Chain A
Amino acid sequence: MVSDEELQRYFDGELSEAEARSVEAQLTDIDRARLKALEEMRALLNAALDGEAAEVDVWSGVEAKLKEERAEATRRWRERRRGGRRSLGLGLKSMAGFAAAMAAAFFVIVQPWPGGSRNDCSIETLETEGAIAAIFNDDDDNAPTVIWSEETEEEEN
């Protein structure tokens, strides 16, 4: 009969291969029955927890909390803006204005007409609460050009 500690380590796979073989060689019928009892307990515990987990909805609470946080962030942003925070306030009536600004910048930087410079640049956009940024990066390691467009009060109404 192996010791309690050895049996536990054997059951948990914490013995080296040589140690495990040595324990296996010493296992008595009682030890094997104890291993079966341990396996049964493990299976029961997993089944019980899995069964309980299947009946609980965790995600809807997370979604509600995230929605609440987003609403709070929007409220704070609006308060800041109404408080006279300096902003670029481009006052674009619609996304068409923003697209036009991007297109103009694209033509200035890329110059896709015959004979012009063919310097390429990548354009990324970043959307935040109430504003959109267009980031232009050229191939010449220059500082990126960023154009911000913010929503205006009229647009919300």
Chain B
Amino acid sequence: MQRYQRRIFAVALGMVHDPDEARDVCQEAFLKVYRNLDRFEGGARFFTWLYRIVVNVAIDHLRKKRGEQVAFDDTQAQAAAEEGGVAPIRLGLDPQRALADKELRQRILKALTALSPDHRAVLILREVEGLSYQEMADELGCAIGTVMSRLFHARRKMQKMLERST
């Protein structure tokens, strides 16, 4: 399972944002996998199975937080919600630099944090894991139209916030 650690952590971090919470989500997911290995049907890819558990744990985590009324800071995201789709402007940031530059990573993650949990979830499921609209709708228990709408707004807000931070 160790070889999946980085990929799984990236998904969890993208969904819950806080690194400590993401680590907790991953650990809970790995423990669930370990305890339920006998339920793994060999036909399915192991990572797919593991990934679904991580996403479910992360979604439960977000729901619990919402239940506890730990409000996310959506102020910045709301401010960024202007009319129009993604702007035809590249930010000029180098992804290779983002991999190594902690400060740049923090800026990107800060923008991600400012999104609502729903927007963050669709963005991660699509951009990091490459799920289809139908798969996302199934995972999140909502309609495809809702997924598309959330994705559209999430991308637009993300771009606006990154623009402001550069």
A53/B13 in contact, CB under 8 A: yes
Contact partners of B90 in chain A: CB under 8 A: 33, 36-37, 40
B127 to chain A, nearest CB (A): 5
Contact with B along A44-88 (1 / 0, CB 8 A): 111111111110101101100110000000000000000000000
B142 within 8 Å of A (CB atoms): no
B23 within 8 Å of A (CB atoms): yes
Per a CB cutoff under 8 Å, which of B14, B34, B85, B126 touches A4? B85
Contact partners of B87 in chain A: CB under 8 A: 34, 37
A30 within 8 Å of B (CB atoms): yes
Question: Looking at chain B, what size class is its interface with the partner chain?
Answer: 35 or more
B86/A44 in contact, CB under 8 A: no
Residues of A in contact (CB 8 Å), total 36
Contact partners of B5 in chain A: CB under 8 A: 53, 58-59
Say yes or no: A37-B9 contact (C-beta < 8 A), given A44-B91, A48-B104: no
Complex CA distance for A48 and B91, rounded to whole angstroms: 15
Contact partners of A7 in chain B: CB under 8 A: 85
A155 within 8 Å of B (CB atoms): no
B24 to chain A, nearest CB (A): 8
Complex CA distance for A79 and B9, rounded to whole angstroms: 38
CB-based closest 6 A-B pairs: A33-B88, A4-B85, A49-B10, A47-B98, A48-B108, A43-B95
Say yes or no: A46-B128 contact (C-beta < 8 A), given A7-B85, A59-B2, A65-B31: yes
B119 within 8 Å of A (CB atoms): no
Pick the interface stretch among B57-65, B71-79, B151-159: B151-159
11 intermolecular pairs with C-beta atoms under 8 Å apart: A8-B151, A12-B151, A44-B108, A45-B123, A48-B109, A51-B98, A51-B99, A52-B9, A56-B19, A61-B27, A66-B34
Contact partners of B133 in chain A: CB under 8 A: 12, 14
A47 to chain B, nearest CB (A): 4
Contact partners of B14 in chain A: CB under 8 A: 45, 49
B160 to chain A, nearest CB (A): 11
A46/B23 in contact, CB under 8 A: no
A5/B112 in contact, CB under 8 A: no
Complex CA distance for A47 and B105, rounded to whole angstroms: 8
Per a CB cutoff under 8 Å, which of A38, A45, A53 touches B112? A45
B69 within 8 Å of A (CB atoms): no
Complex CA distance for A66 and B132, rounded to whole angstroms: 35
B80 within 8 Å of A (CB atoms): no
A52/B152 in contact, CB under 8 A: no
B26 within 8 Å of A (CB atoms): yes
Per a CB cutoff under 8 Å, which of B26, B89, B109 touches A52? B109
Complex CA distance for A59 and B108, rounded to whole angstroms: 25
B9/A53 in contact, CB under 8 A: yes
B85/A34 in contact, CB under 8 A: yes
